[in-house]
Amino acid sequence: MILLLMAVALALQDDAAVTEAITTFDAAFSKSKDPALINTLAQTQHEKVVSKLNNLMHHADKPVRLAAAQGLKAYSSNTNPALKKAATKALIDGMGMGVNAKDLDIKEVVVGALGALQDDLSIVPLKTALDDKSFRIASAAVSASVAFKSKDLIEPLISQLKDCEKTLKAAGNPTLKGKKPTSAKRDANDPEQLKEDRAANLILPIGSALESLTGQKNPDGEAWDKWWTKARPNFQIKRE
């Protein structure tokens, strides 16, 4: 009974501290809209703060949304799975908002945060990000996949590697492995050229990611696919 009373007392103290932190933030933020205030608020990690950061990801000002996403990413160091899941939900919700869905800076931060948080809710969004037409987002998803350390992301990485190799082969550049085409006639805004550049620059990072996750080395996507078909049933990844 004494231990229960002590636990209740500590919980009440925590709630009081969180309420004070949010009240202090609201008073200051209403006057300045300073993103630095969000960083301070995020240091108090609690479900009520997660909810506040989620709301801030829908703010009209981009610096505020970025700071909120970074604040949610900080929950990756929290040892409470429920809080990490709540932060993950908030990030996924925020990334789906219209203005954020079109903003590469926001999406890049969110994708990186999803990898760091390592919650299974992130697997589908990370698979989607691997397919993103933007090199920045796809590259962030590759890095996030390494941080996430999930068996479920190995096959999507292999599939993406094969797609990149197919793109370069179709463009007549089958030997381009991580090197940008340098044609003088190159149009930086041409969709096909952008697709080729994306493919050329993703091949090496994806290969490195697969090596990091599996401890294996393979020369190309087809070889990785054949290896994975045999290894998948018994393959395990240990998270630190």
pLDDT (tens digit, 9 = 90+) per residue, 5-21? 333 333 434 788 899 99
Q: Is the dihedral of CA 136, 228, 211, 220 positive or negative?
A: negative
CB 85 within 8 A of CB 120: no
- The DSSP annotation for 33-77 comes to --HHHHHHHHTS--HHHHHHHHHHTT-SSHHHHHHHHHHHHGGGG
Q: Is the dihedral of CA 76, 79, 82, 83 positive or negative?
A: negative
pLDDT (tens digit, 9 = 90+) per residue, 43-66? 999 999 999 999 999 999 999 999
- Taking the domains of the chain in order of start, what are their residue ranges? 17-148, 150-240
Find the length of the chain. 240
Please state the φ and ψ torsions of residue 93, each to the nearest 5 degrees.
Answer: -60, -45
- With CA atoms as reference, report the closest residue to 29 among 58, 64, 72: 64
Tokens describing residue 15: 């709630």
Q: Which CATH class is domain 17-148?
A: mainly alpha
d(CA 123, CA 166): 25
Burial classification of residue 137, based on how many CB atoms lie within 10 Å of its CB (0-12 exposed, 13-18 middle, 19 or more buried): buried
pTM for this entry: 0.86
pLDDT (tens digit, 9 = 90+) per residue, 154-206? 999 999 999 999 999 998 865 544 445 454 455 667 888 999 999 999 999 99
- pLDDT of amino acid 240: 65
- For the chain, give the percent of residues with pLDDT over 70: 88
Tokens describing residue 77: 């160091």
- With CA atoms as reference, report the closest residue to 199 among 172, 229, 179, 219: 179
d(CA 114, CA 118): 7
pLDDT (tens digit, 9 = 90+) per residue, 69-110? 999 999 999 999 999 999 999 999 999 888 899 999 999 999
pLDDT (tens digit, 9 = 90+) per residue, 202-222? 999 999 999 999 999 999 999
pLDDT (tens digit, 9 = 90+) per residue, 108-155? 999 999 999 999 999 999 999 999 999 999 999 999 999 999 999 999
Average pLDDT of the chain is: 89
